[in-house]
Structure formats: C-alpha cells, structure tokens
Structure 1
Amino acid sequence: MRRDDFLKTLAVFAAAGSLPLAARAASNFKMMIPANPGGGWDLTGRAFGKALQEAKVADTVTYDNKGGAAGALGLAQFVNGSKNDPNALMVMGAVMLGGIITGKPPVSLDKATPIARITSEYNVFVLPSNSPFKTMQDVIAQLKKDPGSVKWGGGSRGSTEHVAAAMIAQKAGVDPSKINYVAFRGGGEATAAILGGNVTIGGSGYSEFAEYITAGKMRPVAVTSEARLPGVDAPTLKEIGIDVVIGNWRGLYGAPGITPEQRKALTDGVLKALATPAWKDALKKNDWTPAVISGPAFDKFVDDEFASLRAIMAKSGMV
C-alpha cells in the first residue's frame, strides 16, 4: 500500500472511532488521589481507573496518593502539576469542601475543572469490638458527662464525620467546640486507630469499615442517613433522638486550563466509564450509591454544597 493510501485508511478508521490501538496515540491518564492509601478516595480512584481502562478511554492509569489537609495538599499538587493536561483527573468530594472552609488553603478548588459527581454515601459510626460502650446512646451519655473524654476519629478537619460529630454534640446539648476530634490523613490511619482503641468512636463511609464489621472487629452503632442502610445493623441518629442527617459524596475534577472541548471529551469519557461492568461491580462491592451529575448541574451543585456546609459548620461552632 502506498503511503498516501495508508494515511487515507487511517483517517477513515479515526473518523469511525475504530483506529487500531497500535496506530493511535496512547491515552495515558493520571489519577490524583488526595489522601493516603486505604480510604474512600483511594478506593474510588483506583476502582474508577480500572473502569476507564475497561471503557477503552484510557490505555494506562497511574495513581498518585498525596494525603493531608482534607485533600488540600493533593489539590495544590494537582493544580500546579497538571495544567492543560486533558488526561488528568482528581478524586474529590464533600470532605475537600469542608477542609477548604476550615483550612482556607492557598490553592482553592476553583482552580481545577469540575467534571462529575459519581457516588454518594452515608457515614456509619463504629466502636471497636472491645469498647466498654455498646451503643451510640452510651457514647452520647459520656459526651454529656465529659465532652473531652470521647475521642472521635475520622478524616481531616471539615470531613463529613467531623461535621456530623459536631452536629451530634449540638443536638445533644453539648458545646460543639468542646468535642475531642482526632483527624487522620486517610481512612487506613483512622481504621487502625479505631481497631487499636486509640479513639473512642470512629466515623466514615460503610465501605471503609465493612470487612471489619463483618469480621466482628467493629460494632456499628449509628448511621447518618434518613433511613436505615441495607445490610448495616445500626439505627439512624434520628431513631435515637438525634436529629442529624448528613451524606458524603465523591466526584472528579479535571486539570486547570483545559479547553471546553477537552472538558467535554473528558466528561464523555468519565460517563462512559461509569457504565462499565467494572464500575458497577465496584458500586456493589463497596455499597456506593450512584449519584451522577455532570456539566453545569455539577458546577451548581458544588457551589450549593459550599454554601450549605458553611452554614452547617458555622452553626455547629466549627468556623
């Protein structure tokens, strides 16, 4: 085949979206996970990377864990190191918004490009199996007696479990500023602290605690949802007289500086990956609820979440 005929053939393949892998540019994605290994963001990022590959959106995916400051350290690294890269993604969510409100980092979320919200998840509060407390009511009774004696373990300052702990204290008639909250850089560290008895009670998404609950190493005592969660043997906070409902969600942002066309292509690729068996398996395995929003609706959602969280945190004495 002559060279000009070969090039014409490639053009036909490209137009049809069926260019052979060896003949097209490799799609190498970078996934920023702004948390240490073992937590919800880490599980989400790595599961989604597999989905990108199954969807043929990415040939390879490399992962970069950078924990600390509720994701602000990873956000800064992502913004400064991925400018104009249409194949860069960062996992984020409600935790990052809370951390930005409390920590006021120099690099804010508006420097990156919103892509989509992908999941929602409610928190579960757990006790280590050898805890002297048996129920959330026991914990709240101790909280009322001596707020500082109850160590709440969870993600970074401003995380949903931190906000939930402050709201629980407020509803129980305790000054939220007096709670003893121990922040960890990632879910793995928080889990180790709970199992080791270094905190009184821990909170996070159910997926992070599921294996330990099943193994009898942790006891779930309350969930932050409106109704009981399937498969979780624990009451809602509302059931025990604490009127608190708060959910967690996770999403994806793209790099700063990408064009509108690149943003659309990246969004289309993300939505394609969300339809794969690999991602559906991850949802089932981790008890994540699909909650997909993209485009301008996601932009508005993030703005509204910032406003809502600021109001809640101010009312709870956290800001």
Structure 2
Amino acid sequence: MESRRTLTRPLGLAAAAATAALVLSSCSAGTGTDAGATAGEDTAIEDLKIIVPADPGGGWDQTGRALANDLEQNDLISSSQVVNVGGAGGTNGLASLATEQDPNTLMVMGYVMVGAVETNDSPNRIEDTTPIARLTEEPLVVVVPAESEYQDINDLVEDIEANGQDVSITGGSAGGVDHILAGMMLKNAGISADNLNYIPYSGGGESLAALLGNKVSAGISGVGEYAEQVKAGELRALAVSGAEAAPQIPDTPTLTEQGVDIELTNWRGVVAPGSIDGAQAEALTELVTDLQETEMWQETLETNAWADAFLAGDEFESFLTEDIENVNAILTEIGLLD
C-alpha cells in the first residue's frame, strides 16, 4: 500500500486563488467598472455539471439532485446536468472527474469514497481533486427484513459470532462507511474480521432490494435511505450509529444505548477537478456557500434529516487531510487493509 500523502490543492491552488484575487482587484481599480465586470464574467457559473459517483437511489444521488434543484430554484445557476457514474465505491466517478475538462463541475463524495480509494487501491486519489465544501452528515442505521428473528443489535452480532459468514450484511461499496461500521461492530465484540460476510452494492436501491427480498440477513446505510421502509414496516431498524436517536425513526435506539461502544456518522461534500485554477475554485466555493445560506437549502437539510456540516475551502481541505489519515487507520485496525 502506498504511503499516505498530504492533501494539497493541485497547481498551488491556494496561492493561485490569492494571486487571482489581487489581479482582479488591480484590474478593477486601474481600468474601471467595465474591466471588473469582464473579469467577473470570466468565472461566473451559468451551467453546472454534477457528477454523482454512484447509481441512482442512494445518498450521493439524493444529495447531487437536491444540490442541482436548489441551485436552480434559487437562480444561482441557469441549468445543471447530473451524471451518474457508478461503481467501485465512487472511484469510477473519481476517475471520470480526473479527465473532466469543464471547470464548472462538482462531484459529490464523502466518507464512503475515502475508504473505497484505499480498499480498491485506486490510482485516482482524492488528494488530486480540488476540495470545495463539506455539506452534510447523518448517522447510519442497521436494519433487517421485517420477518427477521433479530430484535436488537446484539442478536445480530451474537449470530455472526456463532455462525460466521452464514450471516450476511449488505451496504454500500467495499471500504465505505457501511462496511467500516460492520467491521467496527465485530471488533467491538471481539469477533475476527474473517467472520464478516459483507455484500457491497454501488447503489442504495440494490441493497434495499436484497433486504426486501430476504436475500441478506441485515443491511447498513444512511438513515435517510431506509427510513421510509422502516416506517412502513417493511424493515426493522435495530440501531442507529449517531450519538442520539435519528428524527426520522426516533424509536430506534443507538448502538451505545445497547452496549456497543461506537459512534459513527457519514459525511458528504463536493470536490472539483484538480485541473481548475484558483479563480475557478473560488467561484465554485462561493456558489456552494451562497446555496448553504438559502432558506431552501436549510429546508432540504431538515426534510432529509441531514445535519448541516458545512465547511468550505481551506477548512474543508484540512478536514479531508485528517479524515483520510483516520479512515486509513480504522480500515487497518478492523482488518480491511493489511
């Protein structure tokens, strides 16, 4: 496995952004409003491409389409194009972003991709993208088919201890946050990672179909992806992974309330191509920041029960650097990496 790299914005982006700001300021001051308007138009974003590195139906897809809708409805852009590039925990989408020529492009990503890059040994790295903003976070939920014999999280864990890989857990792509939570639950119980039979899917719709068809023993995903089926009685929620109950399924206990000493939340954000310059990065960051401040986006967060976890620019870059290091350590600790 390759050594860890520090996340640095490509092409000296931080310095480039500062230089661009100085150039724009000088042009405006030296040549009047026409020059300033022209400079602004060079980085104005009318049309936006949003890459969703997953199949339709999951949390990344929900986030990307909500982002596109709210940007348009708030007249922050004229139009948007959402493109799904599924597979390999988002690393197929990451490869697509690496060759993207349109600077007005955002890719939805998050905790899942951080782990998938490591477990898939991806040649394309998050470190090679341009960090724009962290948007949301939400807890995970562990669910089982309604007919399951498991009544709480300890029933599931005890059955894995007794029967090993005869017990299957589905979720998102290998190495992602769902897979990590499954591994952490086994480690917490002193069960070898070899006992984990994890069945990954690239889209939330596929894992849901496997659960509803009783093809797997249990499933893990973001609360928002399974909440409606839980409320309809089609799935039973055993536990949520946050510090407190999730508002969509408030009667579901947390892992810690059931003696499982784990708290884990899934975050999502957006990055841009690594080839863009400082002014283009600043324009995208301002666009997403403007959206975050709208009433509509705050309503979208509330509707989906996504916590507002907004970080932009340098703060998001620092967060990413630390998260990549932490996820790598966790994957190694729970046996998903050598």
Q: Report the TM-score, using the length of structure 2 for normalisation.
A: 0.85
Structure 1 position 163, deviation (Å): 0.4
Aligned to 1:236, the other structure's residue is in SS state coil
- Work out the CA distance in 1 between the residues paired with 2:292 and 2:244: 26
The total of aligned residue pairs comes to 302
- Work out the CA distance in 2 between the residues paired with 1:260 and 1:51: 25
Residue equivalent to 2:12: none
| Runs of 5+ unmatched residues, structure 2 | 1-32
Aligned to 1:314, the other structure's residue is in SS state helix
The one-letter code of the counterpart of 2:316 is: F
Counterpart pick for 1:293 among 289, 292, 311: 311
Contact 1:117/1:251 (8 A) holds in 2: yes
Matched, 1:177 2:181: no
- Work out the CA distance in 2 between the residues paired with 1:230 and 1:269: 29
Contact 2:160/2:195 (8 A) holds in 1: no
Structure 1 position 309, deviation (Å): 0.8
Structure 1 position 107, deviation (Å): 1.2
The one-letter code of the counterpart of 2:111 is: A
Counterpart pick for 2:277 among 245, 255, 259: 259
Residue equivalent to 2:56: 37
C-alpha distance after superposition, 1:173-228 (max 9, x if no partner): 21013200000011111111111111111111111112111211111111111222
- Equivalent residues in 2 for 1:189-204 (5 A)? 189-204=206-221
Contact 1:35/1:74 (8 A) holds in 2: yes
Contact 1:177/1:318 (8 A) holds in 2: no
Residue equivalent to 1:136: 153
Q: Structure 1 runs of 4+ off > 3 angstroms?
A: 10-15
CA RMSD of aligned residues (A): 2.0
Q: Percent identity?
A: 37
Residue equivalent to 1:240: 258
Residue equivalent to 2:65: 46
The one-letter code of the counterpart of 1:60 is: S
Contact 1:112/1:254 (8 A) holds in 2: yes
Residue equivalent to 1:3: none
- Work out the CA distance in 1 between the residues paired with 2:273 and 2:71: 17
Matched, 1:275 2:277: no
Matched, 1:102 2:119: yes
Residue equivalent to 1:212: 229
Contact 1:54/1:276 (8 A) holds in 2: no
Distance 1:13 1:227, change over 3 A: same
The one-letter code of the counterpart of 1:129 is: A
C-alpha distance after superposition, 1:220-263 (max 9, x if no partner): 11111122223422111112221111110000001221111111
